[in-house]
A and B are shown apart, each in its own frame.
Chain A
Amino acid sequence: MSTDRREFLARSGKLLLLTGAAQVAFEAVLRGEPEAAPNYKIADHWWAMTIDIEKCIGCGNCVRACKEENDVPREPFYFRTWVERYHVPDGEIERPQVDSPNGGYDGFPEKYRAGDGSKNFFVPKLCNHCAHSPCVQVCPVGATFESPDGVVLVDKTYCLGCRYCVQACPYGCRYIDPRTETVDKCSLCYHRITKGLTTACCETCPTEARVLGDLKNPKDPIHEFLRTHKVQVLKPQMATGSKAYYNGLDGSVR
């Protein structure tokens, strides 16, 4: 690689004038990344998802689609998204029975009887894409982060596989990929949503129980949904700034 005098002077001038960090930042600004990517302005989006429990039929389409789209190991059973079945006998919301056979990948074989006085429903789970993520806070090397458009992403080339984040996530949304020994999690199909598509789980949800929304887009139907439904996030007491909004969330859901 050859460097002419002009380039050398410019580079050493920058090094002398700016601190190291400012120099790195300045170069990225000059390159214009990643805002320079066609048609996607990172500052114009703030992604969230609404999940309507009253619409979820537990078909497992989201689980299968997610594995296909994101190359999640088929077996042993790791998940970026999964569906839980809740069985609450006699309104005992303190002691629900929860199962998720293969994460809902093969559906839910009927297990409970109708008319036994219990309450039964499905709860799809995924990364809540918290605005104040505990998982991001514990990462010692900056390999997981909240992107400027509100998606918690993983830098696989930088992850050490230390598992701190797996323990830190209050929602159990992370796993260590046995093939790479690095962490993996729902990326909210970042490769799709930045191209104008919806996530694989929302694309394949037959009842539109899960809907991706952009909170920075005033025309997005998510605003109407949040206004007209009584929504709740999981574990609000943990103040994670979760952006997975559940409609019809029962008090028994953990």
Chain B
Amino acid sequence: MGDLFGHRGHLVRVAALFAAGLVAFFILRVLFVPEGFGVYGHFRAGAIEENRVRPVTFAGRAACVECHSDVPEAMKGGRHAAIRCEACHGPLAGHAGDPAEKKAVRPDSKVLCARCHAANVARPAGFPQVEPAEHSAGEACTTCHAAHKPGLGEGGTK
């Protein structure tokens, strides 16, 4: 027993070294591990929030209909009824936020309609397709068709 206490200096030095190592570990850990790391897994929890905070560019149909409630009425029963506004009119979150300053632009029907309705063998067979050059010879589609409610009969065509 006497020997052990006689050499206690060794034990104290080892213990002090261990404690210093522990303190150094915690200090380095606080310095190098970013906040929130490990809350949900091997990543920063804050990154989820950072992915959320970006502004939107497409306002969504609900925002459009708040002012333009007449359009869904006009589209009702037509073959375009399920298409959301911004599919054709483009991103309009800016317009929805400030309707006076940022105006929406009327799309060019010759370009717009052809994107979906120009004949292409890869399109589903039942989907309405035309050869634009043969079908209208450069005339704007909206001369004959109502874009919001196309098709023949039941007020679909202009």
Total A residues in contact with B, Cβ cutoff 8 Å? 64
Total B residues in contact with A, Cβ cutoff 8 Å? 50
Query: Is the contact region of chain B dominated by helix, strand, or loop, or is it mixed?
Result: loop
| A142–B121 CA distance with the chains assembled, in angstroms | 45
- Give the A-B pair count, Cβ closer than 8 A: 154
Inter-chain contact A157/B56, CB cutoff 8 Å: no
Inter-chain contact B26/A15, CB cutoff 8 Å: yes
Question: B124: which of A55, A59, A147 is its contact (CB, 8 Å)?
Answer: A55
In the complex, whether B33 has a CB less than 8 A from a CB of chain A is: yes
Inter-chain contact A59/B42, CB cutoff 8 Å: no
Inter-chain contact A122/B122, CB cutoff 8 Å: yes
Inter-chain contact A190/B121, CB cutoff 8 Å: no
A195 nearest in chain B by CB position: B56
In the complex, whether A206 has a CB less than 8 A from a CB of chain B is: yes
A28 nearest in chain B by CB position: B39
| A155–B43 CA distance with the chains assembled, in angstroms | 8
Chain A residues in the interface with B (C-beta under 8 A): 15, 20-21, 24-25, 27-29, 33-34, 37, 42, 54-61, 65, 68-69, 85-87, 107-108, 110, 112-114, 118, 120-122, 142-148, 153-158, 187, 190-192, 194-195, 197-198, 200, 203-208
Please, could you name 27 A-B residue pairs with CB atoms under 8 Å apart, sorted by A? A21-B38, A24-B35, A24-B38, A25-B38, A28-B35, A28-B39, A28-B45, A33-B46, A57-B116, A58-B120, A69-B91, A87-B122, A107-B118, A110-B119, A112-B122, A145-B40, A148-B40, A153-B51, A155-B44, A190-B48, A190-B52, A192-B56, A194-B52, A197-B60, A203-B87, A206-B83, A206-B88
